[in-house]
Structure 1
Amino acid sequence: MDPFTMIATGVGAAAAVVAAPAVIAAAGFTAGGIAAGSIASSMMSAAAVANGGGVVAGSVVAVLQSAGAAGLSVAGQAAVGAVGAALGAAASMASNGTA
């Protein structure tokens, strides 16, 4: 792996971990609950309809609301960082023709 791709991988991981809480909040998953009229409220509504009126524990909506209320766990930060690293590496390799 060339040095530029290594740098892009690290930057992508760090940027993803830093940006994730803001993105989750912007989607409507907040410390005070799901924001009315948001993407999160649409997701919650769809999940409730699909599951007979409730949101299943461990579902995407439940996990995102937990992250919005309490922040990302260490495992969550690792997962988000890994995705950011992969995207950074892919962008670097695509831009310098090594992909």
Structure 2
Amino acid sequence: MVASAFTSSAVTGVAKVARVASGCATCVLPLVVAVEAVPVVLSALGFTATGIASSSIAAKMMSAAAIANGGGVAPGSLVATLQSLGATGLSGLTKFILGSTGSAIAAGIARFY
């Protein structure tokens, strides 16, 4: 019951965000570009599909995280999450949620200008 209630409220929230975002056509393109740029940026930082690139910002982050955690990178940490995204990319649902939320925020800001 709890999972279905959460799913229902999440879908309702996403639908509301999508309705607000649809009113701002000029806000959507930059956000689509930003969401699609995530894999490129992660790769440039060193979070690649084949692992963390040596001598990269990602390698330095991984080293610092391992030292702070006593020798290993904790599951669910920022470094682990970014590496997972670098290896697999963003799912379609994640792209939709990020794009919709960002569009709604941009639409809200654009109303004041």
TM-score bucket of the superposed structures, by smaller chain: 0.7 to 0.9
TM-score for both structures, normalised by structure 1: 0.73
Larger radius of gyration: 2
CA distance, structure 2, for counterparts of residue 47 and residue 61 of structure 1: 7
CA distance, structure 2, for counterparts of residue 46 and residue 79 of structure 1: 31
Q: Among residues 23, 31, 42, which one is paired with 1:24 in the alignment? A: 42
Partner of 1:63: helix, strand, or coil?
Answer: helix
Show structure 2 runs of 5+ residues with no match. 1-22
Aligned residues with identical type, % of pairs: 48
- Give the CA RMSD over aligned residues: 2.5
TM-score for both structures, normalised by structure 2: 0.65
Show structure 1 runs of 5+ residues with no match. none
Tell me what 1:7 maps to.
25
Higher relative contact order (CA 8 A, sep 6+): 1
Q: Among residues 44, 53, 70, which one is paired with 1:35 in the alignment? A: 53
> How many residues matched?
91
The one-letter code of the counterpart of 2:87 is A
Q: Is the 8 A contact 1:48 1:54 kept in 2?
A: yes
- The change in CA–CA distance for 1:70 and 1:54 in structure 2 (over 3 A counts) is same
- Measured after TM superposition, the shift of residue 6 of structure 1 is 1.1
- Measured after TM superposition, the shift of residue 75 of structure 1 is 4.7
CA distance, structure 1, for counterparts of residue 93 and residue 73 of structure 2: 22
